[in-house]
Amino acid sequence: MDIRTIILTLAFGNFVFGVVLILLQRHEEQSQRNPFWIAAKFLQCTGWLLLAGRGTIADIFSYTLGNFCLISGFAYECWALFRISNRPVPLVYQWAGLAYALLGILAATPLSATGRLAASTLLSAPVLVLSAWAIFRSGWSTSSLRAYMGWSTLLLAVAASLRGILALTTNGEFVLFSQNPIQFISFFILFYMMLANGFGMLVLSKEQTDLRLQEVLKEQKAILDTLPTGLCILRNRVIELCNPAMEAMFGFAPGTLQGQSVRSLYENDEIFEAYGRSIYAEIAATGRFEGEVLYQRQNGERFWAKDHGRTIILGERPEAYTVFSIIDITEQKNQQELLTRQKEELEATLARVKRLEGIISICMYCKKIRTEQESWEQLEKYITENSDALFSHGICPECYARSLRDQIWS
């Protein structure tokens, strides 16, 4: 296999990895994508294709533009590593990388073939060192994959430096298609790095997605664990997931309610079936349920709860799930019953007071009162029966004086 064939293989490999990265990120949110990797792969693909045309196309394309694309691709690969490590990549960094590649290659264009090869190789070495530094700064000590990619990139930087130095110091012509061990070793390392960084990037992208997913799951779990409202997800009326507040509400030990049928939350089969029919019929008709449900705790205590439920689809799973939030309203129910009793008592009192309003017919001699039934009752009895008033008997001073006088005269 000659050098030209190896270069074409490098171009094809970078193109394939660029397409795979596009497909991998197409369903991700814009803020979560890493466009630097895609740009890096297609820039390197273009650079290698132009280099493969050395001798058949003008040097301005095969050398100047080809090496500019190649070194810019290495720079964008560095920015991609910054991005995947959650480090910002200011626009000035991107322009600086492009300016470095362009000015360096333009300055080397007038040199001899050997000088140009040495210059382009040495220009790529600092960019590769920066990429290795970016990997090491991103937590290589905690990730074997990142450590592997970091050391591999550093190896490529060392190989590029040695290749450039050897090109300057070797007697004779040292050009791109020279068939010598140094060239083959250098391109072997380049081919190895294309595979290592390509597959490594795919794995790192998945690793980054998994880390974000784990963070989201931790946040959701923290919210569920601290939420005072009971929350559960059901499938076929079986509890797939519930929070601690739900388990505490029904008196279950942590972790014991998950996987159980909701039948364990009702007093008997009849109530379980009746609520199931009414709740899911409303969800089927309106897409949600909201109402009061009579439950039973594990110790047999009955209580009322306010339920809010709706059907959800998780991901691409064909089966439907139902999520419910449950609020214990026992205290509210007790307060409502107390207020109802107090209202009834007040209404009864007002009704009795109302009977004492208006014109009351009273005997002018014995002071008996005529009732609605046309009977005559003692004043004390009538008022006692029609109000909350009670009577105690005494004697006024006038009656006392008159009574005493009558006793003396008698």
Over residues 265-290, the pLDDT tens digits come to 999 999 999 999 999 899 888 888 99
SS3 of residue 155 by DSSP: helix
Q: Are strands 321-328 and 302-312 parallel, antiparallel or unpaired?
A: antiparallel
* Residue in the structure block whose two tokens are 């000035």: 92
Distance set, CA 301 to CA 251, 298, 333 (Å)? 10, 7, 15
Query: Does residue 391 or residue 318 have the better pLDDT?
Result: 391
User: Over 70: is that where the pLDDT of 388 sits?
Assistant: no
Per residue in 91-140, pLDDT (tens digit) is 888 899 899 999 999 998 888 888 888 888 888 889 888 888 887 776 54
- Supply the mean pLDDT for the chain: 81
Query: Which residues are registered as beta bridge partners of 304?
Result: 294
pLDDT higher than threshold 70 for residue 369: yes
- pLDDT tens digits, residue range 14-35? 898 888 888 877 777 777 778 8
* pLDDT confidence of residue 173: 67
Whether 374 has a pLDDT exceeding 70, the answer reads: yes
Selected residue with higher pLDDT from 372 and 409: 372
Could you write out the DSSP letters of every residue in 59-108?
A: HIIIIIIHHHHHHHHHHHHHHHHHHHTT----HHHHHHHHHHHHHHHHHH
What's the Cα-to-Cα distance from 152 to each of 14, 149, 189, 206, 376, rounded to whole Å?
Answer: 17, 5, 9, 20, 115
* Per-residue pLDDT, 295: 93
Q: What is the pLDDT of residues 61-76, one digit of tens each?
A: 988 999 899 899 889 8
Distance CA 321, CA 26 (A): 27
Q: Mind listing the pLDDT tens digit for each residue in 197-246?
A: 777 777 777 777 777 778 877 887 777 777 788 988 898 899 988 889 99
pLDDT at residue number 28: 73
Q: What is the pLDDT of residue 273?
A: 92
pLDDT (mean) for 139-158:
75
Q: Beta strand pairing status for 369-370 and 376-377?
A: antiparallel
Q: Give the per-residue pLDDT at 318.
A: 46
Q: Among residues of the chain, what percentage have pLDDT more than 70?
A: 88
Mean pLDDT of all residues in 40-45: 91
In the three-class reduction of DSSP (H, G, I as helix; E, B as strand; rest coil), residue 26 is classed as coil
